[in-house]
Amino acid sequence: DIVLTQSPDSLAVSLGERATINCKSSQSVLFNSNNKNYLAWYQQKPGQPPKLLIYWASTRESGVPDRFSGSGSGTDFTLTISSLQAEDVAVYYCQHYYNTPLFGGGTKVEIK
Amino acid sequence: QVQLQESGPGLVKPSETLTLTCTVSGGSLSTYYWNWIRQSPGKGLEWIGYIYYTGNTKYNPSLKSRVTISVDTSKNQFSLSLTSVTAADTAKYYCARRQWFGELSAFEIWGRGTMVTVSS
């Protein structure tokens, strides 16, 4: 089974600064037939369900601010918040949907 | 817009069967994959399984022996049944819809979730 390892577990970033979250997969989630990475990123605020931010590793979901971006391919992926806002405080999860869906352990983002 | 709402008992006794229903409003069940996902402090987010509107199902191998997901298109609902529950099944249970791309796609719409505690 594919295992997703997120790092760091938590990070504190000043308002307006960049936040970077990493997600490493134990196996490639790149589907060679269509050259797509079957990886998504979600944001979860307290008391709310996860919200889809990014899919295909780098495609932003409709309505998601452009300060959120996803990158990477194969086994190594990154979610970047280019300029942290107060409303971005949340836990962020990566998830692969290559076969049996699996989520990473989450990264908690706070304000420094 | 499409909304999902979970319903069911908040407390289930050990060894009994947990049954939850997800009601879909603002759209039909057609052409999408409908999922159950749970979240617990110990195991994080865990995909339980899906049902396609035709009735085809797929389950997480770790839960497959205890899970059944069914659909009632006339009521625009789908349901989860989890047998022989233990304290390890205590979690917040979410229903969610995959994207229009199909089976291998992200979860784009989620219900607000319902907390289920397994305890005598």
> What single string gives the DSSP state of each residue in A9-57?
SEEEE-TTS-EEEEEEESS--EETTTTEE-EEEEEE-TTS--EEEEETT
At A13 the pLDDT is: 97
Residue range B24-42: mean pLDDT, rounded: 94
Q: What is the pLDDT of residues B76-119, one digit of tens each?
A: 999 999 999 999 999 999 999 999 888 899 999 999 999 999 99
Longest dimension (CA), chain B: 42
Tell me the pLDDT band of A45, cut-offs 50, 70 and 90: very high
Q: Is the CB of A40 less than 8 angstroms away from the CB of B107?
A: yes
At B101 the pLDDT is: 87
Mutation target vs B (from A2, A36, A52, A107; most B CBs, 10 A cutoff): A52
Distance between CA atoms of residues A97 and A93, nearest Å: 13
Q: Does A101 touch chain B (CB under 8 A)?
A: yes
At B56 the pLDDT is: 96
Residue range A55-61: mean pLDDT, rounded: 98
The alpha carbon dihedral of B52, B57, B58, B63 has a sign of positive
At B19 the pLDDT is: 98
* CB crowding B54-72: b at 16 or more within 10 Å, else e: eeebbbbeebeebbbbebe
Q: Does A93 touch chain B (CB under 8 A)?
A: yes
Residue range A94-111: mean pLDDT, rounded: 95
Tell me the pLDDT band of A103, cut-offs 50, 70 and 90: very high
A50 chain-B contacts, CB cut-off 8 A: 45, 107, 110
Looking at chain B, the whole-number percentage of residues with pLDDT higher than 70 is 100
Q: What is the pLDDT of residues A13-38, one digit of tens each?
A: 999 999 999 999 999 999 988 999 99
pLDDT of A86 higher than 90: yes
At B43 the pLDDT is: 80
Residue range A82-95: mean pLDDT, rounded: 98
B100 chain-A contacts, CB cut-off 8 A: none
Residue range A62-87: mean pLDDT, rounded: 98
A52 chain-B contacts, CB cut-off 8 A: 106-108
The overall average pLDDT reported for chain B is 96
At B68 the pLDDT is: 98
Q: Does B49 touch chain A (CB under 8 A)?
A: no
A33 chain-B contacts, CB cut-off 8 A: none
Distance between CA atoms of residues B106 and A97, nearest Å: 7
At B102 the pLDDT is: 87
Residue of B nearest to A103 (CA): B45
Looking at chain A, the whole-number percentage of residues with pLDDT higher than 70 is 100
pLDDT of A99 higher than 90: no
